[in-house]
Structure 1
């Protein structure tokens, strides 16, 4: 079972069988340069030495009748690897542990599969988590390492309704969500017969290297060495056997929650608002000592922070995770706007200099920087604009696209649509069962508070009239 398939299955009574062909290596369709490429100091941190899964669900498309999505994507993958040839290589460790991409052209792992299930059986609308994800992204023995292993693993599972599920596992050292989406758009172009890539790939990883000598110019609370709180109630442990639930936020709910904020925060982003709600409700649910510190790490894409502008086509990691830090008491007792302000301040702290400082910290600590994986830390990544659902292999856009699960202290915000076609946001939360119940109640109470507040305001206006 994959290390990220940690949760109990969803309540959908779904069982199916997957028949897989033998995994194969797909190599570039044409000869590619044999060379070694250094990753950046941002890529090189220990925090990114992990694999990230993506799941895209596609409906039956009558115009593609008789065409095999697995074979089309396999051929497109070989073509795409001509330009993105570093993905066909292997990571090695060089001097002082520096990671290097050895561009050997060995290829990426590819699996064809068939499942005796229809897309409709996964539920309407499609909402994570789903059971048996390890069948839709098979963990090929020996492929899960960071070094000397394929950098991508792709599986195409054909469904009996004519749709299919495209799954991918990425070595995070190579790319962040934006970089991966760029690669997948290129893959979609090749699958649809587009002759050239709309965006040409750019390596240029030296742009995110530390200066010489390295200078750490910020206090990076996101990399604090944090011990598990000694006051953690035994009822929320162990954290290694969690359950998952999805929580959706439609336009109406977001508007309601926004009404809890003071006027000067009404123009905060939807990410800032939902993140503040989730952070506050989660902290209330885990019931830590009031004086304990808790932190929210916000995943920020720093491309727009560079001057001159960052090169279009760069597909390495350009993300940093500034931390909003406060005490349990302050977060839970103060109004929701307090959490929003902390998150806004954390995001605003990111500059080009901040990114260089993270690179310097990576070098200074010998790559060994990682985020605290304790229950008082929460990480939320906004993938609502990453565009995974827009990847088109010829069968149209995905019905759902993105990570299917939350892992430990990490959640993702992803776009979703209801039966009416209305766009919303969904996130998966991963917590021990009793804590999950409290979290859901806290979130419902917050929504109820917003609803009652709006009714009260409306009644006051009516009375005044």
Structure 2
């Protein structure tokens, strides 16, 4: 049972400039005009620093004060968005604040997992209250935060972010400022930098790539995952599982863990959805340009959206019949194209010329690597979270399209990656079978462990 107090607005702790700031031409694309939820679980105060005499600190009070202080340098996050001609977004920096909810739950941290394992899905409707009237992109608070105390003295920090304002790296930068201030710092170690003009279209704009990731594709029967009967499950890929997947590809085929895992999951997911053999299926990788180039395209402290998409396509038959190396080569080639500065500039110009479109969703699977972003390392004074990352698979208006790779350590201390997946129940059953079938034929008869949370019944 969760008990919540009345939602309140947390404003900057000091006066901030009243002004209007224009978003970049990456920020305000249709693909990012949604609310995206994140969540962190913290253990009880026996794990916190200085807990002998400071152990009774209230995480709600500590975080409220720290957020108010952090909103001074990050004052645009306390503002409200509005839309100008050409659907161009700008933020009115009026200091109205973000929504903050104080809550208590009659459960312990252990109730959220199998032993000490905490991973999605979570009962988000209880841990992040959807305040009526707060979900619109325009004219509403840009961040909603709920801090829930648990009866074991642990607590949960859940956030909902208006994605047009920033992505996960930018949110982590802001929350790291909150964490530093909560631990007693006088100011954040990284000062925020706006400078969204650096990701503005050229004059005149010129598109030099095809950008099939934004193609408009007529919906045909079965091209979009059905909304009904959707289930969320998480899969842990540790060193053993990754090694097993690597043995499914030639030894001389070099690739990153992200590329190998993406190719593998895409193939299993496509097989589970059972498209027609000649149906075109797609996968997009989210590419961050924050630290991609040398010299850097963006300055340290920049907290706008910094993503472009790389797209791969195949017929369903070719993807599912060919060995994993077929999908892997598609992923690698697409990423290579998308990581050039000209591709980035072409994407930005495409947004302006084409009216800031949404990416293609028909038969598409979007993957984002969050393993190095740092959401799992944020320390508000109680140590690092037991889990920190995306709250569920399939965010935005289209469920089941996006999966984010989250860093995770299992009960044996093995570091790995948790991949949340959202599929219809029948497809999820086939997905699990396909994972195990492929890994069963790998050496040592390995299989991927699956866990589905049942905490919702406790709340």
Same fold at TM > 0.5: yes
Alpha-carbon shift at residue 452 of structure 1 (Å): 5.9
2:267 paired residue number: 280
Cα RMSD over matched residues? 1.6
- Is the CA contact 1:243–1:431 (under 8 Å) kept in the aligned structure 2? yes
- Write out per-residue CA displacement over residues 56-91 of structure 1, whole angstroms, 9 at most, x where no aligned residue: 000012314211000100000000000000000000
Q: Does 1:311 align with 2:299?
A: yes
Deviation per CA, 1:380-399, whole angstroms, max 9, x where unpaired? 11111111110000000000
Q: Which residue of 2 aligns with 1:248?
A: 236
> How many positions carry a matched residue from both structures?
432
- Counterpart in the other structure of 1:447: 439
Match of 1:200 among 178, 191, 204: 191
Counterparts of 1:246 and 1:308, CA distance in 2: 38
Give ranges in structure 1 of 5+ residues lacking alignment: 1-16, 455-465
Pairing 1:49-448 to 2, within 5 Å after superposition: 49-62=33-46, 63=51, 64-123=54-113, 124-230=115-221, 238-265=226-253, 267-309=254-296, 310-350=298-338, 351-367=340-356, 369-374=357-362, 376-407=363-394, 408-448=400-440
Aligned 8 A contact 1:285 1:436 in 2: yes
Question: 1:44 is matched with which residue?
Answer: 28
SS of 1:273's partner is: helix
**Given the two structures, how large is their TM-score scaled by the length of structure 1?**
0.90
Cα distance in 2 between the residues matched to 1:43 and 1:238? 28
| Structure 1 residues 300-330: Cα deviation after superposition (integer angstroms, max 9, x where no partner) | 1012334531211100011111101111111
State the alpha-carbon separation in 1 of the partners of residues 66 and 306 from structure 2.
26
5+ residue gaps, structure 2, are: 395-399, 447-459
Quick one: distance in 2 between partners of 1:146 and 1:241? 28
Please state whether the residue corresponding to 1:304 is helix, strand or coil: coil
1:3 aligns with none
1:451 deviation in Å?
Answer: 2.2
Q: Describe the superposition over 1:92-117 as per-residue Cα deviations: whole angstroms up to 9, x where unpaired.
A: 11232210010000000001100000
Q: Work out the CA distance in 1 between the residues paired with 2:422 and 2:14.
A: 43
Q: 1:249 to 1:366 in 2, by over 3 A?
A: same
Q: Which residue of 2 aligns with 1:457?
A: none
Q: Distance in 1 between matches of 2:32 and 2:124?
A: 22
Q: Distance in 2 between matches of 1:164 and 1:19?
A: 13
The answer to whether the Cα contact below 8 Å between 1:54 and 1:401 also exists between their aligned partners in 2 is yes
Instruction: Name the SS of the counterpart of 1:299 in structure 2.
Output: strand
List per-residue Cα deviations over 1:366-416 (Å, max 9, x = no partner). 22x112223x11001111111111000000000000112111211111111
Retained in 1: the 8 A contact 2:439–2:445?
no
Cα displacement (A) at 1:132: 2.6
Residues in 2 aligned to 1:92 and 1:174: alpha-carbon distance in whole angstroms: 12
Which string of whole-angstrom CA distances, capped at 9 and with x for unpartnered residues, describes residues 172-203 of structure 1?
00111111111111110011011221211110
Change (3 A) 1:238 1:150: same
Are the equivalent residues in 2 in contact too, given 1:122–1:130 (CA < 8 A)? no
Q: Secondary structure at the match of 1:121?
A: helix
Q: Is the 8 A contact 1:25 1:110 kept in 2?
A: yes
